[in-house]
Structures are given as structure tokens and as C-alpha cells.
Amino acid sequence: MLGKLFRLALVLAIVGAPLFWWLTRPGDIAAAELAGLSGDAARGERVFHAGGCAGCHAAPGAEDEARLVLAGGHRFETPFGTFLAPNISPDPEHGIGGWSLADLARAMRRGV
Ligand code: HEC
């Protein structure tokens, strides 16, 4: 009886794990979704202020203009572990300056 239950659980895990991964996978952003973007910096600035990006992504202790650098480093202690706000400055090596538009869209809209 226990052996049967174990086998059933094993089969469910083998079938269920890939199914769970497939059902919860983050989809890609279709190129057509990005085609209509105008590159309007004023809209980006509104999103930046509305989203409070600097609140988390500014370096701890940064003030005034330095808050706009978005060097990251703020730590969030949570019951799940510590999250670290990453550097999202335009620096291609340390920030996200090397990202494509699709990379950014995937991060902002799919969390990947
Ligand atoms: C409440 C704090 C908070 C706010 C507000 C916030 N972020 Fe974040 N952001 C984070 C954290 C923490 C991470 C890292 C998440 C992780 O480790 O999975 C992150 C990750 C990112 C990443 C991925 C960077 C990488 O290297 O993977 C981007 C891009 C990003 N944020 C952009 C933004 C933008 C743009 C805004 C404003 C619209 C914003 N964030 C607002 C906390 C925040």
C-alpha cells in the first residue's frame, strides 16, 4: 500500500514538475508589442517618478542629483531572505546599459 502511494507520488512529481514549470513560465514579449514605442523620454520620466524607482534603486545615503544615478545597493530584509536593489544605471558593465529594449520590457512586465 505504502509502496503504491510512493509510486503514485513519484509519477505525479515527474509529470507535475514539468507541467508546473510550463504553466508558470514567463512568456516572451512579442516584437509587435514594442514596435509602437516612441522613445518619449517625458513619458519615461513620469513612470520613473510614479513608480518611485529611486526610492529603492538609489544608492543608500545618496542625495539630490545622486539619487538619479540608480546605483542600487539598498537591502530589503524579508522572511524569504534579503533582496538587494540592483544597479539599474545606464552603465553597460555595472548597470543595465547593455540591455536591449526587449530585456528591459521583460524585466518590467514579466519580472524576468
Ligand atoms: C520597492 C522597491 C523597488 C522599487 C520602487 C523599484 N524597484 Fe526595481 N527592483 C527592486 C528589487 C529589490 C529588485 C531585485 C529583485 C530580485 O532580486 O529579484 C529590482 C529589480 C529591478 C530590475 C532588474 C535589474 C537586474 O539587474 O536584474 C529593473 C530593470 C528594475 N528593478 C527597474 C525598476 C524601475 C524602472 C522602477 C520604477 C518604475 C523600479 N525598478 C522600482 C526594488 C524596487
Return the residue whose CA atom lies nearest to atom 23 of ligand 1: 107
Q: How far is the CA of 20 from the centre of ligand 1 (A)?
A: 26
Average pLDDT over residues 8-15: 93
Q: How far is the CA of 72 from the centre of ligand 1 (A)?
A: 9
Do residues 101 and 37 touch, judged by C-beta distance below 8 A? Answer: yes
Integer angstrom CA distances of residue 42 from 46, 49, 50, 101: 6, 11, 12, 17
Average pLDDT over residues 60-87: 96
Average pLDDT over residues 87-92: 97
Q: Please tell me the predicted confidence (pLDDT) of residue 24.
A: 85
Q: Please tell me the predicted confidence (pLDDT) of residue 104.
A: 92
Q: Which residues contact 68 (CB under 8 A, 6 or more apart)?
A: 54, 58
Q: Please tell me the predicted confidence (pLDDT) of residue 2.
A: 77
The yes-or-no verdict on residue 37 having pLDDT over 90 is no
Q: Please tell me the predicted confidence (pLDDT) of residue 71.
A: 97
Average pLDDT over residues 12-30: 88
Average pLDDT over residues 20-49: 88
**What does the block give as the cell for 112?**
524576468
Q: Is the CB of 54 under 6 A from ligand 1?
A: no
Q: Please, what is the average pLDDT of the chain?
A: 93
The atom number, within ligand 1, closest to the CA of 84 reads 12
